[in-house]
Amino acid sequence: MKKVMVGMSGGIDSSVTAYMLKKQGYEVEGVYLKLHNRTDGYHESNIKHIQNVTNFLGIKYHVLDIADDFTKEVYDYFVNSYLEGTTPNPCVKCNRQIKFGKMLEFAKEHKASYLATGHYAKTDGEFIYEAEDKSKDQSYFLSQVEKEALPYMMFPMSNYKKEDIVKLGEKLDNVYKKIAQKNESQEICFVDTVYTDVVKRHANIDIPGKVLDEKGNEIGTHKGYMHYTIGKRRGFRVHGAQEPHFVKSLNPKNNTIVVGKKESLEVNSVEANNLNMYIDTTNFKCGVKLRYRSVLLPCEVTIKNDIAHIKLDKSAFGVAAGQLAVFYLDEKVIGSGWITKTSK
């Protein structure tokens, strides 16, 4: 009987994942990652749910304290990105370094043949694909996971809709019912409210500065550059503006932000580095997502010296350095890279 380690968060998706795999005849064990140094009962409450589920299923579970790695690889990167004026994507880092890095190592150490999670995505061991439930699809966030990890990954949610998983859970047992009726977890696990609440624990984000136009003229004021991301159109003042202005770039060095009218945010080419490619081709046509929940933008990609040069067929707006460019052939993820530069 093959062993599967299931990453269990105490939420409904991973709890149903464990049930499904047990039913399919695998030897199942669960692992809960303590990602944060929280002392407010957060871990205890999650672990209680996991205890109930694993008791019900008659399986073992482990708790792995990984808070130091998480702080270094994910949390610090998140805060530093805002300090540097870029827009981070912590879930992408977490999936690569923590869930399919450290948690996969743990699964292998425990002689598991696979690591399963409740992510909404598909994999055939060679590639990652969009999930059946497009509204929940997480393939974008998984696209930096190393190619070597793919043969170990299992996503039992791949063909289900979230609502079906909730219904299934509610029918299974009271233990599951309680979990299904919990609030859905927030988008970023360590951001309870808005990102600025996290960043302000580490820096003074409220230092007002100048708003500049594209020629460098002072045209208004803002409340601190870390309050803004590329494409944002509110929260700053432009003297005498008739038309809406959008944030075009952030300059942490002199605490200025550059704004422009919508057309000036038009981008036709994008550069990305730290590539993670699942194919070997260095010149290809594909669809690209330049942020989560964007539609696929047709483009041509040329990779030179480990940098992807992305030429968009049609312009895109509000593309932010620090976000991930994910390359797709229809539903198949063929690689991704971190956006460093954009131009018209």
Ligand X SMILES: Nc1ncnc2c1ncn2[C@@H]1O[C@H](COP(=O)(O)OP(=O)(O)OP(=O)(O)O)[C@@H](O)[C@H]1O
Which residue in the set 4, 5, 12, 79 belongs to the binding site for ligand X (CB under 6 A)? 12
Q: Answer positive or negative: Cα dihedral of 23, 24, 26, 28.
A: negative
Using DSSP's 3-state secondary structure scheme, residue 116 falls into: strand
Selection from 97, 188, 112 nearest residue 142 by Cα: 97
Nearest by Cα to 118 from 235, 270, 11: 11
Least gap, CB of 28 to ligand X (angstroms) = 12
Strand (E) positions, the chain?
A: 3-7, 27-34, 60-65, 114-116, 122-123, 128-129, 153-154, 209-212, 218-222, 236-238, 246-251, 256-260, 266-277, 283-289, 297-304, 307-317, 324-329, 332-343
Instruction: Report whether 113 belongs to an annotated binding site.
Output: no
Catalytic residue among 91, 94, 286, 299: 94
When asked if residue 8 is in the footprint of ligand X (CB under 6 A), the reply is yes
Is 25 marked within a binding site? no
Binding track, positions 15-44, relative to ligand X; x by CB under 6 A: ----------------xxx-x---------
Interface with ligand X by CB under 6 A: which range of 54-62, 111-119, 207-215, 300-308?
A: 111-119
CB of 136 to ligand X, least distance (A): 8
CA neighbor of 331 nearest in space, from 76, 130, 195: 130
Least spacing, CB of residue 3 vs ligand X, in Å: 16
Q: How far is the CB of 288 from ligand X (least distance, A)?
A: 22
Give the footprint of ligand X on residues 82-101 (CB under 6 A).
99
Active site residue 94: yes
Q: Is 219 labelled a binding residue? A: no
* CA angle 27–48–184, rounded 5-degree value: 95
Would you list which residues are annotated within the binding site? 7-14, 33, 118
Positions marked active-site: 94, 189
Give the residues lining the site for ligand X (CB under 6 A).
7-9, 11-14, 31-33, 35, 99, 117-119, 185
